[in-house]
């Protein structure tokens, strides 16, 4: 739980526990949009790393 907290923008373990324990049910369409944005962000970060 603590490792997840550190990866988020805050370091409050209680808040992270609330996020993790909260059921997160989204439509497949919403998930696919999020996944697409995540993949684009990863690609952008990878390209920036290659520049430096």
Q: Identify the burial level of 35 via C-beta atoms within 10 angstroms of its C-beta, where 0-12 means exposed, 13-18 middle and 19 or more buried.
A: exposed
Q: What is the pLDDT of residue 43?
A: 92
User: Global pTM?
Assistant: 0.48
Hey, how many other C-beta atoms are within 10 angstroms of the C-beta on 17? Answer: 13
Please state the domain count of the chain.
Answer: 1
Within 10 A of 5 (CB to CB), how many other CB atoms are there? 18
Q: Which two tokens stand for residue 14?
A: 């209680």
Domain hosting 8: range is: 2-51
- Which residue blocks in 1-52 are alpha helix, DSSP H? 2-7, 13-21, 28-51
Each residue's pLDDT tens digit, 1-52: 566 656 666 556 777 677 666 666 778 888 899 899 999 999 999 988 888 7
């Amino acid at each position: 739980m603590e490792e997840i907290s550190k990866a988020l923008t805050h370091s409050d373990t209680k808040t992270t526990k609330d996020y993790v324990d909260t059921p997160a049910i989204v439509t497949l369409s919403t998930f696919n949009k999020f996944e697409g944005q995540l993949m684009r962000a990863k690609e952008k970060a990878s390209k920036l790393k290659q520049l430096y």
